[in-house]
Chains A and B, each alone.
Chain A
């Protein structure tokens, strides 16, 4: 039973570029949440998707957008990258009625 997978593992982008990160949830899970974790900090909630719709959003600008596909996988898109977007991006999956979230290994994004 595969857990949560994310791709790519690492990514280096230049300021102003756009990036897409991908996540496949744990088998049987229907909900995907995205978090940003800056160095030395705890993860910060970006948004959550269920039934292909954004259910809740954290305090992140519109440059951050997402999508959930019919197979429950999800993408996180960030436009007009800033140096401050450099972070570990974590995807977590869960069942909508459960508070327990399972995290993937993360994507390390570096913006130069």
Chain B
């Protein structure tokens, strides 16, 4: 079963606009991670937010975490065509051994 579920499944925006993706999960977590995947290749780690953090920034990325609602959001500001990719949230198992991924959000940024 999947722990994280991303929403929306697909998102299409124009360059320069902001993109927001959401993730909901089911059980308590130590941290939540966001990954990007281009064209079915390897995943690139974007950001890790710990359960005691509410917001984290990395360049044009902003991640929030609401443990009371078991949800997280990823905001990409001033999007670029190169941001076109699938974005996944992932939550680790109790011992951080395995990551459980959702089905991802396919983001298309149109030039």
Q: A residues within 8 Å of B by Cβ?
A: 4, 33, 35, 37, 39-45, 48, 55-56, 58, 88, 90, 92, 97-106, 108
Contacts and interface: CB of A to CB of B under 8 A. Distances in A.
Contacts of A37: 40
Contacts, number: 66
Given A45-B98, A48-B98, 4 more contacts: A42-B2, A44-B101, A100-B45, A103-B42
Contacts of B102: 42
A49 B97 CA distance: 9
B42 A99 contact: no
B44 interface: yes
A97 B95 CA distance: 9
A30 B96 CA distance: 14
B88 A99 contact: no
B92 to A, nearest CB: 5
Contacts of B41: 88, 105-106
Nearest to A3: B42
